[in-house]
Amino acid sequence: MARMNDVGGVEGFGPIDTAEDSEPFHADWEARVYALALALLDRELFTLDEFRDAIERLSPMRYLESSYYERWLAAVETLLVERGVLDVYAVRFDAQDLWGAEEHTVTIELWQSYLESL
């Protein structure tokens, strides 16, 4: 069975924007997610294949509603919960209600603290 990310031959997603984008990241949290994923891969907490699989296992709704780096963050969280490194409830909080901050920013700060503790 094909996963949501396998859209070969599927129509209806609109044109592909081929304009060059000079900025690799559109927000600071995206750069942090990128660095976090690479650091965890380097520490062999998961493999690149496992990371890709975790992205592909996102529910179709979440996959389509998420940006590129939101998928990366979801994959990292999924893999660390599956390995027992992180409690599932630690990633299910609403940062805006707790601290009035963007959820991504708070989540990334939690991950940075974790990496520094290793």
Q: Give 17-46 pLDDT, tens digit per residue.
A: 767 777 888 888 889 899 999 999 999 999
pLDDT band at 96 (very low <50, low <70, confident <90, very high): very low
What does the alpha-carbon distance between residue 80 and residue 82 come to, in Å, rounded to a whole number? 5
CA-nearest of 48, 108, 56, 101 to 77 is: 108
DSSP letters, 70-115, are: HHHHHHHHHHHHHTTSS-GGGGS--HHHHHSS-HHHHHHHHHHHHH
Count CB atoms within 10 A of the CB of residue 75: 22
Looking at the predicted structure, is the pLDDT value of residue 74 above 50?
yes
Upper half-sphere CA count for residue 110 (Cβ side, 13 Å): 19
98-107 per-position pLDDT tens digit? 444 455 555 5
pLDDT band at 3 (very low <50, low <70, confident <90, very high): low
Which CATH code is given to the segment(s) 28-117?
1.10.472.20
